[in-house]
Structure 1
Amino acid sequence: MPAFAHRTAVMFQHCDPAGIVFYPRYFEMINAVVEVFFGTAIAWPFHRMHVVERVGVPMGRIEAEFPAASRLGDELDWSLTVARVGGASADLLLRAACGGETRVTARGTVVLVDLDRMKSRRWPDDRRAALEHYAEDVA
């Protein structure tokens, strides 16, 4: 299945005084990629989720590796695939590369949460199907 693709420019706000991405900023970028993914690929924008339907998809777990540095002015090409769709969660695999060189990989689990009750809830069938469209066999 296809990976979702998104491009992020490394901006001054992402960098430390050495001009390289300060690693916590990658987590902000990851959050942005996930938000764009849900809005674009899943057709479920965060405004609709949070304000209208009162659900959210917080990250319940995340781990990351940073094999090479990114610098101010780099363009990061992100890919997002869905490794698993559970009852109320989904495991995501994200990768950012610049010029073919991997800069960061992350595996995270988002959980669909009822924001008023602060309890997980099952994916609606149409959203599950949309997530499964981006599923890939990931080791």
Structure 2
Amino acid sequence: MPFTTQRKVRFQHCDPAGIVFYPRYYEMLNSVVEDYFAERVGHDFNRLHVEARTGVPTAHIETDFHAPSRLGDTLTFELTLRDVGRTSLTLRTVAHCSGEPRLTCDSTLVYVDLESGRPLPWPEAMRTYFAKDCQQG
């Protein structure tokens, strides 16, 4: 089942024409991932980054922009797990507004040690959760 959340397009997201400036979508996408980890996985970014000194940087990202989003739009983001590896997680995130597709993003996150920057195997509890979430997606 996809993780679903919404974001309102604010002035800060827009260029002078009043449409979302594409780098701002990446900030929104990252906030969706952060919410997924906090709300579904039970490991908010404070726990990951500050307490465990681990992180989930993006190693690959590919995005198709289907239509512009405008100031005041409410975007619905649906994040689905596509695959879980030993140290990585592959996601697809789709954003739409009133049923109209706005973007599709495929990305790969890697679980890393923040001190060394080296990949780490997922903790068993997280890996088990991801595997279950992949089967439901």
* Same topology, TM > 0.5: yes
Amino acid at match of 1:79: E
Q: What's the TM-score once normalised by structure 2's chain length?
A: 0.96
Tell me by how many angstroms 1:134 deviates: 2.6
- Flag the 1:108–1:136 CA change in 2: closer, same or farther, 3 A: farther
Q: What's the TM-score once normalised by structure 1's chain length?
A: 0.95
Tell me by how many angstroms 1:111 deviates: 0.1
Runs of 4+ aligned structure 1 residues displaced above 3 Å come to: none
What is the correspondence of 1:76-87 to structure 2 with a 5 Å cutoff? 76-87=75-86
Contact kept? 1:81, 1:136, Cα under 8 Å = no
Residue-by-residue CA offset, 1:7-42 (whole Å, 9 max, x unaligned): 000000000011000111100000000011111110
Contact kept? 1:83, 1:137, Cα under 8 Å = no
* SS in structure 2 at match of 1:29: helix
Segments of structure 1 that go 5 or more residues without pairing to the other structure are none
User: When you count helix as a share of all residues, which structure comes out higher?
Assistant: 2
* SS in structure 1 at match of 2:41: coil
**Could you say which residue in structure 1 is the equivalent of 2:97?**
98
CA distance in 2, matches of 1:95, 1:136: 18
**Identity over aligned residues, as a percent?**
45
Amino acid at match of 2:15: D
Segments of structure 2 that go 5 or more residues without pairing to the other structure are none
Tell me by how many angstroms 1:132 deviates: 2.3
CA distance in 1, matches of 2:135, 2:9: 28
What is the correspondence of 1:35-114 to structure 2 with a 5 Å cutoff? 35-114=34-113
CA distance in 2, matches of 1:102, 1:45: 28
CA distance in 2, matches of 1:68, 1:105: 11
